Amino acid sequence: MEQHLASYIRNFMSGSYTPAIKSIDAAIECLVAQSQGSGLREQQLASLYCNKAEIYNKLGLTKHCAQGYTKAIESDPDCAVAYLRLGDLMLKSGKASEAADLYSRGAMSRFGLLSDVCVFVSLTERLRHIESLGSPGQSETGEVPVVAPQPPSASVSSSSSSSGSPNQIRVVESPKVAVGAPRDAMPVSSTSTPTVQPRFSLNKQRPEPEDTISAVANVSVAAAHVAERGLVQHGVGNAEVDRKIALGYLQVNTGKLAEGIEIFNHLLDLNPHIVAAYLGRGTAMALAGDIKGALRDFVSAIDENPKCSDAYVRKGQALSALGEDKQALESITQAVEILARSGPPEQIVEPLQQRGLLLLKMHNYTRAMQDFKQILAIQPGRPGTWNNLGMCLATIGSPRLSIDAHARAVAFDPHYREAWSNISQAWKELGVFKKAAQTLDQALEASPSYSHAHYMWGMLCHGSGQHSLAIPHFDRAISCNSSSEDQEGIRGGNSLLDSLQMRGVTYHALGLFRKAVSDYDAVVKVSPFHVAWYHRECALYLASQLDTPLDKFDFDAGMDPYFKEAWCKRHHPATLSKYNHQSPTILNKVPDVTPYTPDYTAVPQVAELVHTAAVLGRALQYNSPGFLPNIRQYATLGIGALSTAQWIRQQTAPVVSSSCKWRNMYSIASKWRQISEPNDSTWWVDMLSPEQFEEGFGSTTPIITGQTNVVRYYPQFERAFGIVKAALCSPTSLNTPPGIVPDEIMLAKDCSDLWKLVQHDFWIVTPCKSMCSPGRILEGTRLTLQASPPEGFEFTIRTPGTPPRWKLYDEELSYAFQKFVQCFQKVIQERQDTPTPPPTPNPVNTSTYTPAEIATIDAALILSFYWYNFMPLSRGTAAVGYVCLHAMLLSIGFRLSARGTPPNLQVDWDAILGSDPLEFVETQKKWILKSLIKVDPEQVQALPIKQTCASVRGAVAFLNATCIRESNLVEDYEMWEDTTNKPENPYTEPHLSIDC
């Protein structure tokens, strides 16, 4: 059957619905051939029929769709989701009476089972909706209210249904923030309503369809019915007592908590040894917010029956809600062990699910995965569990495996909006815009008012530099987040504040400062110490500088050093006791940046500048997972490179002027980044507070954080890990414990192996050879390994910016920059002496370049090597360094191909993990010389940058225009992961007016 299911998933995900139906029919035949009477078989069969019905629904074949859901109910009379979907079909057909009957039967199906709470809520809300319209037989328009809980930022569901029902409990907490890591939310909140389930299950005996309690309309009669049949979970065998237990369960299930507690109080007054009464009352208390009272009842239930696994699970849930996660884990594990010793394997699914979710909350993703995999081995048709497994895989840094798991989830439940959005997030993490967009559309098709999908659409557009397109999505996210559908989940990663903040950041980047400050103010009003406070201050300052000439604008000098430090470290704004706040009155004096219109590029020279900057910026795209194509970054990088190249071309005097320094060059590119990226705290480290500079501001980039392999940087792990092991093997190493021999160290395969040998946190310093003072070794970066509970590690590069280190690198960069200028001037002089243009570069043979050109390329790479190792910016050192490398190439008449870097190559990491600048030069020239395209430096110099971007206002307007005019560079981008995986259409290099 697995083969047929796999075929179904592939066909469904590709939109090939007819083959998908054939595959699912084959899977159904396999199940039907199995022996009758297996609860698991019936549930799986119902799930397959539901999936088949959904395909027919997508094809618009309503009759076949209804037949599918009817078959699902016939296979499993307790398949609540089939009642829900079939009821929706009836309601849309104007058959309110039939719909009401189906909703009623669904709400009573599998009376009290620990599952399908969201489906149950949807069923009861549908019933209330029909009742609010009058008698069941009156005309109905077919509009079905959307009732579902708010999903988490990264959509974890607890999917506790043993039938694999698609709508599951989703309870979340705020996400753990980690650099480079995707924005994941945990499944259980220690500050919100606990995951103690409101429903109780019957015994495993299954009634015949005609005897199912869904046919019983009266609550009291229903309670008596199930008691007589012995179907009450934890019943005592006395019909009257069991009837009261069942009645109490029903009151709790339908939200009548006080009535349920009263029934259980009465039972315990009569007999203080009834386990079911403790469980029922405890659950009602938990749902009412009395977690400590609930915990006491669950402990009492265990005292009465130490083998009651249900009580251990609920005790664990209550403990987790109180923040006692370790004790909670022990309690739920006891339930797992009890059920593992006896009974069918399906019994262990619920406690495994709860333990997996708890492990997720504790950030122990590897152990959570083990539980989810064990569940799926027992019940492979559980979409919620597939989604949770996918979440774990995404969080540990395996987005492709995550996509596969989420694909199983949506194949089993095409309406699973959280799984669709998680697939989109994984594609975004991989840097694949098109597929991220397509799967977000699927999430919104499943739930048009799903605020998180709208928020993610906004983030995708923002992350790809399409800011004007992002704002409408943030608008809809804010609107949907205010609706009743998503109020319960507003505490999760996708909150109203997130959407407001990011809309403010987007307005900020576009130069619409009034709207930006309004959104920031709305956030700060709710959360006074939100990071939006820092954004607000920067927006007000930038607004005051809009008409400052661009070459005079100095963001670093204009902002308070202590403010900049506090923002970098995300300190509480209250720590800035002496900070002078920016005045909001500036907004009344300075108009915003005028939004882009086609008139902006009506002048051919301006249109050509826009196109040239975008294409040059695309050349700096890293073709590595995690780097999403971003047209605003293309524009920023391209115009930064052109501006810097023009500045370099002015340095032609034989005696270099005092203003011609390495810092002047890099400041041009960093200024463009500061203007374009208001969400980034990009500052020169030596312009933070004096105390911080003296202490040494540490720039940190994670390769592994906790149990997460950071998608962008984990490809550098093997090389970095090898450097660490080699350093520990050195006789001079202070970190290697006595008795540990090099062979043991070199056999270590991962951080865990190495840490066990060393037995403490440590760091090693990479060497950096000097060219200014041959024989001197500078401190490169610090490769740091730290244990990070639970069962994780922090493996990072950390680069301190202390005054002594700054002085040494200033000397090195000054020397390297002087060498570059000398080589550059020699190229200029040679071309003046030689009237014929230099030969066209050969992609393979470097002999077609002149010696002066090769020497200049070498000098540019050496300068870049020291810049990357220095890391003088709080953020953006890599991007700024790459911009200036391209600028230096442009200055001598070459540009990089717009195809971007070779697969998985990151220039900055090659420099940081290297020790010898000459080795770095040779490594980079292997691909750079093949990528260079000849340009006319005079044409580069003639581009109207100063006229077009004369002021800060002009710079923002230019970026806005480029993002709209050249957005196809994002849409058309494809990443090549290896040389054999090329697109069907060969790559075509864009031609620019500056090209020779």
pLDDT confidence bin for 234, thresholds 50/70/90: confident
- pLDDT greater at residue 787 or residue 118: 787
Taking CA atoms, 860 is separated from 317, 530, 906, in Å, by: 60, 42, 17
Task: Identify the CA nearest to 309 among candidates 283, 275, 277.
Answer: 275
Is the pLDDT at 973 greater than 90? The verdict is no
pLDDT of res. 84: 87
Q: What is the mean pLDDT of residues 397-410?
A: 95
pLDDT of res. 770: 96
Those residues with Cβ within 8 angstroms of residue 707's Cβ, 6 or more apart along the chain or in another chain: 363, 364, 365, 366, 395, 396, 791, 792
Q: Say how far apart CA 110 and CA 108 lie, in whole Å.
A: 6
pLDDT of res. 804: 92
In SS3 terms, 399-465 reads as HHHHHHHHHHHHHHCCCCHHHHHHHHHHHHHHCCHHHHHHHHHHHHHHCCCCHHHHHHHHHHHHHCC
Please report, rounded to a whole number, the percentage of residues in the chain having pLDDT higher than 70.
Answer: 82
pLDDT of res. 923: 96
Is the pLDDT at 981 greater than 70? The verdict is no
Is the pLDDT at 697 greater than 90? The verdict is no
Per-range mean pLDDT, top range of 526-535, 796-805, 906-915: 906-915
Instruction: Name the token pair of 813.
Output: 């960069």
pLDDT of res. 987: 66
Q: What is the mean pLDDT of residues 404-423?
A: 93
Taking CA atoms, 750 is separated from 720, 791, 802, in Å, by: 11, 13, 31
Is the pLDDT at 135 greater than 50? The verdict is no
Beta bridge partners of 505: none
Task: Average the pLDDT over each of 113-117, 188-192, 401-405 and give the range with the smallest value.
Answer: 188-192
Is the pLDDT at 119 greater than 50? The verdict is yes
Is the pLDDT at 113 greater than 80? The verdict is no
Q: What is the mean pLDDT of residues 568-581?
A: 87
Task: Identify the CA nearest to 114 among candidates 301, 310, 392.
Answer: 310
Task: Identify the CA nearest to 537 among candidates 557, 564, 510.
Answer: 564
Is the pLDDT at 771 greater than 60? The verdict is yes
Q: What is the mean pLDDT of residues 404-430?
A: 93
- pLDDT greater at residue 832 or residue 497: 497
Q: For residue range 853-872, list pLDDT tens digits in order.
A: 999 999 999 999 999 999 99
Q: Cα torsion at 968, 982, 615, 618 (round to 10°)?
A: 100
pLDDT of res. 974: 61
pLDDT confidence bin for 209, thresholds 50/70/90: very low
pLDDT of res. 34: 65
How much is the mean pLDDT over the chain?
A: 82
Q: 550-588 burial, b if ≥16 CB within 10 A, otherwise e?
A: beebebbeebbbbbbbbbbeeeebeebeeeeebeeebbe
Say if CB 156 and CB 166 are below 8 A apart: no
Q: For residue range 815-828, list pLDDT tens digits in order.
A: 999 999 999 999 99
Q: Say how far apart CA 359 and CA 704 lie, in whole Å.
A: 19
pLDDT of res. 964: 92
Q: For residue range 579-616, list pLDDT tens digits in order.
A: 999 998 888 889 999 999 888 888 999 999 999 999 99
Q: For residue range 867-915, list pLDDT tens digits in order.
A: 999 999 999 999 999 999 999 999 999 999 988 888 889 999 999 999 9
E strand spans, 872-957: 894-896, 932-934
pLDDT confidence bin for 136, thresholds 50/70/90: very low
- pLDDT greater at residue 775 or residue 171: 775
Task: Identify the CA nearest to 893 among candidates 742, 769, 996, 767.
Answer: 996
pLDDT confidence bin for 110, thresholds 50/70/90: low
pLDDT of res. 214: 39
pLDDT of res. 97: 78
Rounded to a whole number of angstroms, the CA Rg of the chain reads 32
- pLDDT greater at residue 600 or residue 975: 600
Is the pLDDT at 927 greater than 90? The verdict is yes
pLDDT of res. 170: 27
pLDDT confidence bin for 834, thresholds 50/70/90: confident
Is the pLDDT at 718 greater than 90? The verdict is yes
Is the pLDDT at 670 greater than 90? The verdict is yes
pLDDT of res. 363: 92
Task: Average the pLDDT over each of 422-431, 701-710, 803-812, 837-846 and give the range with the smallest value.
Answer: 837-846
Task: Average the pLDDT over each of 127-141, 231-245, 358-372, 662-676 and give the range with the smallest value.
Answer: 127-141
Q: Say how far apart CA 847 and CA 495 lie, in whole Å.
A: 59
Is the pLDDT at 926 greater than 80? The verdict is yes
pLDDT confidence bin for 460, thresholds 50/70/90: very high
Q: Say how far apart CA 973 and CA 965 lie, in whole Å.
A: 15
Say if CB 547 and CB 555 are below 8 A apart: no
The angle formed by the CA atoms of residues 495, 500 and 505, to the nearest 5 degrees, is 125
Please give the model's pTM, rounded to 2 decimal places: 0.79
Strands 777-788 and 697-706 turn out to be unpaired
Q: For residue range 337-369, list pLDDT tens digits in order.
A: 999 988 788 889 989 999 999 999 999 999 999
